[in-house]
Structures are given as structure tokens and as C-alpha cells.
Amino acid sequence: MATLDNKKKRVVIKVGSSSLTSRHGEISRRKLEKLADEIAVLKDDGHEVVFVSSGAVAAGYRKLGCINRPTSLPEKQAAASIGQGLLIEAYSEIFLSHGYVASQILITRSDFSDETRYNNVRNTLNVLLERGIIPIVNENDTVTVDRLKFGDNDTLSAKVAGLIEADQLIILSDIEGLYDSDPRKNDQAKLLEKVYEITPEIEEGAGDSGSNVGTGGMRSKIDAVKIAMASGISTFLGKASIANILTEAVSGKAKGTYFEVTNETVNLNRKKQWIAFHSGPEGEVVINQNVKMSIADHKHSIYSSDIEQVNGQFEKGAVIRILDHEGERVGLGVVNYSTEELEKMKNMTGRDIQRQEVVHFDDLVCELELSLPVGV
């Protein structure tokens, strides 16, 4: 086993479906034991671990009687209801053999978009970690509809990492990391060992899913990395089948790609993370062009005099989209007034009205400032 560094870390580990199941779509006991054994080593060394595990649909659809992975939503959800039980049963048995208790947390996007439930999830995870439990997190596929889905567990893992203020996010799949071109098409493709910035070239080169078992490809992993880096969390991408991959990833010695956070990397506090990545915007305001630039450059709040148009119905405290006069999104923010109150302000004049603060800068996440899409 690799020798771990002395710093005890809070680590979120995400493993894709293809790295947990056999080629026939069944749970691979060998693959589960390999990963669980390595997680146990991390725990033995004092690290805290949250395990975001895919594989519920892939593990359950054979037991449902399907020959191939189902494509209809009801069959996927039925397969997930079987597979979730199979996965947690297997994990619990394996971790108990190492002396650790596993718990299961099933999440939907709505659990994150509601700030109270968001904080409840964080509190639950913190208690479990403090008590030495290994939380196993997955999207609640059995009840989730498309509009409430994270899209893939790469995104979910990045959001969980930000939620618990993790030190490191590790994403494992069937590819060794990020290459300068698609290694499936180019034998000369080179593995990028260190990345300090997600450039447009990296985003453009990110391909689609390499497996018919999972849902997340390299593009989803890059989006997850962007969320993690904006939250101040370094990320590692690597291949699940490599021996000791988890222990070496934590110690900084693994073969793969390390996405490093620097002093120039945006580091959002918990409130802004929730606004940027989890909230469900309920309406929008259109601001003038001058204030659009000053928001990014001078940390400027949005005042009633800055607003040209109000769209949608929302109450005080809702998260709204901030748009420029061309309809381009500037960011997201928590609004201090309802739709009706803002409409009244537009029709009034006077110094007091013009100085009404509609969105305070501390409650505003600017898309120009982040250089990544908010609201993912």
C-alpha cells in the first residue's frame, strides 16, 4: 500500500457504474471489495470518507428481468429500487468486515435547492463523519424526475464535496485521467498530470461517455471539477482498476490528473456555493449595462435604480437570475424585495427609492467573476 501523508483529510470519492459492475451489468463483488478495502485503509489512517457510488440501475436491471439496460424512466426507477438495496447490502457487509459502519443517503436536486434541506443534509453528513461512519451517497433514482436530477453523480459528488467542505474530491472511472486529446482515437494522446485552470480548450476537448453503463463522460467530470475548484477543493481523476488508486490519490502519488486549487482560484463561501450551484431561481431582473461591469469589477450590489425590467413572480428571499439588457445571464442572487415591490419601485422617483438595495453583493454570485456557468 502507498504511504499516506500526515495530514488527515476529508475526502469525497465518486466511482462510476462501469467501475462497480461486471460486463454483464451485475454487481462485481471483486470490484466492490477492491474499492472498499482501499477506503478502509484511508479510514484506518484517520481520514474521513464520503463515498458517492453509482451503479444502482446497472446493478438492478438484470434482477428486474431486463436483458439490456432499460431506457424508459419507470423501468430505470424500478431497477434502481432493486440495485440500491443490493449495493448498500454489499457495502455494509464489506465495510463491517473492516470494522466500519456504512450508511446510505439518497438525494435529489430538490434537497439541495431548498436551503433548509441543504443544511439538513450537511448536518447529517457531518454527524456521520464525526462518528466514524462511512456515508454512501447516491441520487434517489427511484423517485427522481428529469427536472430534479443532478444529471450524473460527477456533479453530485462535487456538490457534496462543497457541502461538507472537503479537502479533496476523487473521481474514479474507466479512464486514467484527462488527456490532451481522446486516447480512444489518438494513440499519441498525453495524460495531463497537473491542471491549474479549466481552459476553453480543455472544455472543448472533453468528449462524451466512454461506457454504455454510466451516464457521465469526461465533460461531466470537467463540470464537476469546475464546481469543486470554485469551492476551493482540489480534484483527482483516475482509473478505478489501478491498484491502490485511492491511497495513492490522497497521498498525491497516483497516476491520473490532479486539478490543483491556487490562490487565483475562486473560493466561494457556503452561502455563495448554495446560490451558485444548488438554488432554484424563481424569477429574473434585467439590469443596465454599466452596472453589469461594475458588479464583476467593483463588488457592486444591485440597487432599484439599476433594474430595467422584472420578470416572473417571486417573494423576498428568493434566488433570482440577473440578466443584462441583451438577455445574457450575469449571475444569481438573493433578492430583498418581491416582484410587486420591485414593480412599484420602478414607477417611483426619489433618492431614497433609488438607493434601495435589491441584491446585496454578499448574496450575489457573478458569472463573469466565476468564469463558469452558475445554476448547474
Cell numbers standing for residue 322:
440577473
Task: In whole angstroms, give the CA distance from residue 43 to residue 187.
Answer: 38
Strand-pairing partners, residue 74, are none
Q: Is 279 exposed, middle or buried (0-12, 13-18, 19+ CB in 10 A)?
A: buried
Task: In whole angstroms, give the CA distance from residue 128 to residue 169.
Answer: 18
Burial state string for 227-257 with b = 16 or more CB within 10 A and e = fewer than 16: bbbbbbbbbbbbbbebebbbbbbbbeebebb
Q: What residue spans of the chain are helical by DSSP H?
A: 29-44, 56-60, 73-97, 109-113, 115-130, 153-163, 200-205, 218-230, 245-251, 270-273, 289-298, 339-346, 351-354, 367-370
Grouping H, G, I as helix, E, B as strand and the rest as coil, residue 3 is: coil
Q: What crossing angle do the helices spanning 153-163 and 115-130 adopt, rounded to 10°?
A: 80
Task: In whole angstroms, give the CA distance from residue 2 to residue 44.
Answer: 13
| Res 211: pLDDT | 45
Q: What is the dihedral of CA 175, 53, 163, 226, to 10 degrees?
A: 20
Global confidence as pTM? 0.81
In order of their start, the domains of the chain are 10-270 (3.40.1160.10), 281-370 (2.30.130.10)
Grouping H, G, I as helix, E, B as strand and the rest as coil, residue 257 is: strand
| Res 44: pLDDT | 97
| Res 275: pLDDT | 85
| Res 246: pLDDT | 97
Residues 202/222, Cβ–Cβ less than 8 Å: yes
| Res 1: pLDDT | 39
Q: Going residue by residue through the chain, which has 376 residues, state the pLDDT in tens, using 9 for 90 and above.
A: 344 445 789 999 999 888 887 777 677 889 999 999 999 999 999 999 999 988 888 888 888 888 888 888 889 889 888 988 888 999 999 999 999 999 999 988 788 878 888 899 999 999 999 999 999 998 876 665 544 345 578 989 999 999 999 999 999 998 899 988 777 788 888 899 999 988 877 877 765 544 444 444 788 899 899 889 988 899 999 999 999 999 999 999 999 999 998 766 667 788 888 888 877 788 999 998 888 877 766 678 898 888 889 999 999 999 999 998 888 888 899 999 999 999 888 766 655 555 789 999 889 888 755 554 444 4
Burial state string for 67-103 with b = 16 or more CB within 10 A and e = fewer than 16: eebbeeeebbbbbbbbbbebbbebbbebbeeeebebb
